[in-house]
Amino acid sequence: MHPMLNIAIRAARKAGDHVIKSLEKSQAIEVANKGNDVVTNIDNEAEAIIIDTIRKSYPDHCIIAAESGTIEGKDKECQWIIDPVDGTKNFVRGYPHYAISVALRMRGRTEVAAVYDPARNELFTATRGAGAQLNSQRIRSSQPRDLTGTTLATGLPFAAKQHSESFIKIQSALFVECDDMRMSGCAALDLCYLAAGRVDGVFRLGLKPWEIAAGELIAREAGAICADFTGNTNHLVTGNIVAGNARVVKPLLSKIREHGSEALAK
């Protein structure tokens, strides 16, 4: 196992254990608004655990964290991207669908990823070029021939409401061709569920890098294609992602181009 994946797993599990334990004293969970989202004291505490775990082994690495922002390090070639609780709104409401997301990028490429769902004790991992796993068992994405019979994962663009009209048009056009859709409220798990064959495609917009980085490597290593809305691989920057096999991604992009605004094509 890649030594840095060991650290990612250790950090994700420690943070996940803290998040689950916090539910034993739910009255101590403090919720605050954060733009169009919410944040809790548990998010901040879990993030501190992840950062501390990384820093103990790699004190010179850079870190981009959902709550703390950018933490510069001497080694500019290594950058950890972390989300202590992806799906905070679910967590706050007692909806057991959220995850801890930890990824490492080296020289601009994501090398290792760990996404931990503490409610189900499911650990999704990947190392670039070595495949993806769920609880140490190899996983592969599904291979549908087209959108017929597929289940797609998506989410309302609450952080990019200026695109709400485009989103509804795209969703309506896709719904005519697919079988069903899921809106789970956790982008990292959407991508991991794609990797595990639980859904057949993903299209999300208005995401942050820490919501994408780990999950997209896991999806790619399980055989999926990941792209932005122009068909390029700039999804970490644009925050827009489509993922699935080629026969799913192609019609997804086609519907996005047909029904999306010009702003989505940038």
What ranges do the domains of the chain cover? 3-139, 151-259
Q: How far apart are CA 96 and CA 226, in angstroms?
A: 26
Residue 146 one-letter amino acid: D
Query: Residue 88's CB: how many other CB atoms inside 10 A?
Result: 22
Strand partners, 125: 114, 133
Residue 48 one-letter amino acid: A
Confidence (pLDDT) at 1: 64
- Domain 151-259 fold is D-Maltodextrin-Binding Protein; domain 2 (3.40.190)
197-221 burial string, b = 16+ CB within 10 Å, else e?
ebbbbbbbbbbbbbbbbbbbbbbbb
- pTM for the model: 0.96
Q: How far apart are CA 225 and CA 66, in angstroms?
A: 25
pLDDT in tens, 16-68: 999 999 999 888 999 998 877 889 999 999 999 999 999 999 999 999 999 99
Confidence (pLDDT) at 137: 98
Task: Output the CATH code of domain 3-139.
Answer: 3.30.540.10
Arithmetic mean of pLDDT, 198-202: 98
Confidence (pLDDT) at 163: 82
Confidence (pLDDT) at 230: 93
Is the pLDDT at 211 greater than 90? The verdict is yes
| Cα within 13 Å of Cα(30), Cβ side | 3
Q: How far apart are CA 210 and CA 60, in angstroms?
A: 20
Confidence (pLDDT) at 260: 80
For residue 265, what pLDDT band results from cuts at 50, 70 and 90?
Answer: low
For residue 157, what pLDDT band results from cuts at 50, 70 and 90?
Answer: confident
Closest CA to 7 of 54, 46, 52: 54
pLDDT in tens, 121-131: 999 999 999 99
